[in-house]
A and B are shown apart, each in its own frame.
Chain A
């Protein structure tokens, strides 16, 4: 009586439903590109190619670039 009624779930461990591709696509495009840009600035900017001139970005993330496995200089 004091106990709440257990819900009649179909399966003991609920398996996830598929998310439709239409729902994923807009997020994947915008955020996928944004994340890749972030990775570019951590991993390669002012090394092989430069968006900004100088070496400030390169020098700032220098240690991270070496330790995360990117070719640095």
Chain B
């Protein structure tokens, strides 16, 4: 019974992730791709040797982009649904729908925004190929740290709630999260591999578009999955409000 509930939520999470991925793909294609093309044009104008194209640009910017964004959506949809199963009824007195939106907002912050502020997304031609190992390790480390700290802050808030009350427990938990993340920002190495003369406006707009993609993905996921979860967990459709207040006699 409970196992079936988890399975159904997981399936809905992956479907909602796929649908949110489609929304994010539209944003990525319309908003992000023009900057990828401009960055590649900069790269071509400054590169001494040209690499052989393994996958054509027209495929990379369409089918390749779609594969990446949709798989990302499904994968995070599944993970978020599993996290949702843990969070349900445990984080506070929230309805299934509100829990979903709260979770996806937190996920956007913990999975993307917090790592992004330290190691932001980079367009092609920004980044030294020789340091890819170090940069990948640091990025995933920052992501892992941020997610674990978000979980720790949630547990801290739950523990403090009986003594401080929900409001101040939440304030203290968020402040503790911010302080530890600030320390991580301070002590983890900074990476700046922007080539000389790379247009600052292009870099800025590329990064904004990357942020927009993630915002649409997680907002879409939260709303879609919340609706699906609400319908699964509270299946009785709400009747007209008058039917609820009136007694069952006519």
Whole-angstrom CA separation of A6 from B85 in the bound complex: 30
Residue from A12, A13, A62 with most neighbouring chain B CB atoms (10 Å): A62
Known contacts A24-B86, A63-B68, then 11 further A-B pairs from the complex at CB < 8 Å, ordered by chain A residue: A7-B236, A17-B89, A24-B6, A35-B79, A39-B72, A59-B55, A63-B36, A63-B64, A64-B67, A67-B209, A68-B213
Residues of B close to A49: CB separation below 8 A: 133, 136
Within 8 Å of chain A (Cβ to Cβ): is B151? no
Residues of B close to A61: CB separation below 8 A: 64-65, 67-68
Within 8 Å of chain A (Cβ to Cβ): is B46? no
Whole-angstrom CA separation of A21 from B6 in the bound complex: 10
Residues of A within 8 A of B (CB): 1-3, 5-7, 9, 12-21, 23-24, 26-28, 31-32, 34-36, 38-39, 41-44, 47-49, 55-56, 59-73
| Contact yes or no, B71 A38, CB < 8 A | yes
| Contact yes or no, B82 A71, CB < 8 A | no
Some 18 contacts from A to B, beta carbons below 8 A apart, are A5-B248, A15-B93, A19-B88, A23-B5, A35-B76, A42-B67, A48-B132, A48-B135, A48-B136, A56-B55, A60-B60, A60-B67, A64-B72, A66-B123, A68-B213, A69-B120, A70-B121, A72-B124
